[in-house]
Amino acid sequence: MFENRIKKLREKMLEKGLDAFLIINIENSSKPTSYYLTGFTGSFSVIFITHNDIKFSTDGRYTEQAEKQTGIKPTLFKSKLSEELNTIITIPKGSKIGFESNKVSSNIYINILKKFENYEFVPAEDIINEMRRIKTQQEISFIKEAAVIAEKALEETLDTFKIGMTEKEFAAKLEYNMKLYGADNYAFETIVASGYRGALPHGIASEKQIENGELIVIDFGAYANGYNSDITRTIAVGNISEKQKEIYELVLKAQKAAIAAAKSGMKYSELDKVARNIISEGGYGEYFTHSLGHGLGIEVHENPRVSKNSETISQVGDVITIEPGIYLPGKFGVRIEDNIVITEEGCETLTSFDKNLIIL
């Protein structure tokens, strides 16, 4: 898998006229790319890829791990970054070196890279973004596995739910259950927002107790085999109002319509419009305050963007989230989110947890 990615990177480098590609991963700054290209999961690496060689440097925490994960004998990083680059950049002067300008701090760029005056450093993060965007069948299976883990964990957590449990307790149980079912970690800090807090789209779990008559927005995901899932379900507790039910059904209608419409060759702004129009026609357009979705993979948020302003054309192999929501300040919120992959026939849903309103 990783050999093929390096091969493809070199093909892209040739197309762009690059002689080398430099990845600087300092305390996770470029961990996704470091992992994507080599399989290394550590937080510190400097990787220099030419058309016929790879140089890999890491610190003493990771030398043994790096060799096992990548099959590359690493050199020990034991000096300043500038000195390390002097050691690993051995190509002729005047060469063009691609790098991820969005992952390199201004301090490193100004004080280190710009001082290598004999080389031309070219922003080339688009190469990596393009490669990562279209998922292979193996990558899709990893995301699906992460979804299965997360959904089993939610089912287990709901089975043990009790009124009066705090949002933090619920989140902690859910995260524990994800690891119990095989996750390497949870994908992000779990969102559990009940009652009036559900109107906060990113309402991180609090000490608030979950009460009868409330909706709970639960946004969660598992990280497994280097890939993430990202799922949201809104659950009812006890007797809820007709308005809560009405808004839930409106969000569900919009979400199902967007999934049914998803296919290759369409602007993602058009897909966003499918869900947004339904919510607007239902009278709640101003309360759908975020984009319809985003790309998903090694990172929870990656290309492509699925928003009302996105000019990106959908392609077979895109894995995205579909997550419309309505948020009524001071009252409650509803969001429903699934993960899908664009296929030749339309799309396939990678998540399967019940979307009919569950009442605890």
Q: What is the pLDDT of residues 74-100, one digit of tens each?
A: 999 988 898 889 889 999 999 999 999
Say what the pLDDT of residue 46 is: 96
Q: What is the mean pLDDT of residues 294-310?
A: 98
Report the SS3 class of residue 34.
helix
Confidence of residue 355 (pLDDT cuts 50, 70, 90): very high
- Mean pLDDT throughout 346-354? 99
What integer pLDDT is reported at residue 67 of this predicted model?
Answer: 96
Nearest Cα to Cα of residue 74 among 84, 82, 83:
84
In sequence order, the 6+-apart residues with CB closer than 8 A to the CB of 183 are 146, 149, 150, 153, 222, 223, 224
Residue-wise pLDDT for 105-148, tens only, equals 888 888 888 888 899 999 999 999 999 999 999 999 999 999 99
Dihedral sign for Cα atoms in the order 250, 251, 256, 258: positive
Question: DSSP of 133-195, one letter per residue?
Answer: HBPPHHHHHHHHHHHHHHHHHHHHHHHT--TT-BHHHHHHHHHHHHHHTT-SEESSPPEEEEG
CATH class of the region 2-132:
alpha beta
Nearest CA among 81, 126, 89, 125 for reference residue 107:
81
- Please report the pLDDT score of residue 109 as a whole number: 86
- Report the amino acid identity of residue 238: G
Q: Return the higher-pLDDT residue of 188 and 106.
A: 188
pTM over 0.85? The answer is yes
pLDDT reported for residue 84: 87
Structure confidence at residue 28 (pLDDT): 79
Residue 114 has what pLDDT?
Answer: 83
**What mean pLDDT do residues 10-30 have?**
94
Domain residues of the chain, as ranges? Answer: 2-132, 137-349
Output the pLDDT for position 27. Answer: 82
Q: What is the pLDDT of residue 130?
A: 95
Q: Is pLDDT of 313 > 90?
A: yes
Omega into 329 within 30° of 0, i.e. cis?
no
pLDDT score for 79? 80
Asked if residues 227 and 143 have their Cβ atoms less than 8 Å apart, the reply is yes
341 pLDDT exceeds 90? yes
Pick the CATH number of 137-349 from 3.90.230.10, 3.10.110.10, 3.40.50.11900, 3.90.650.10: 3.90.230.10
Asked if pLDDT for residue 188 goes beyond 90, the answer is yes
pLDDT for the residue numbered 99: 95
Q: What's the token pair of residue 43?
A: 């937080």
Mean pLDDT over residues 288-307, rounded?
Answer: 98
Mean pLDDT to the nearest integer, 249-278: 99
Residue found by looking up tokens 């807090």 in the block: 197
Predicted confidence band of residue 250 (pLDDT cuts 50, 70, 90): very high
pLDDT at 312 over 90: yes
Q: How far apart (Å, rounded) are the C-alpha atoms in residues 201 and 152?
A: 24
Q: What value does the mean pLDDT of the chain take?
A: 97
Amino acid at 54: I
155: Cα within 13 Å, side-chain hemisphere? 11
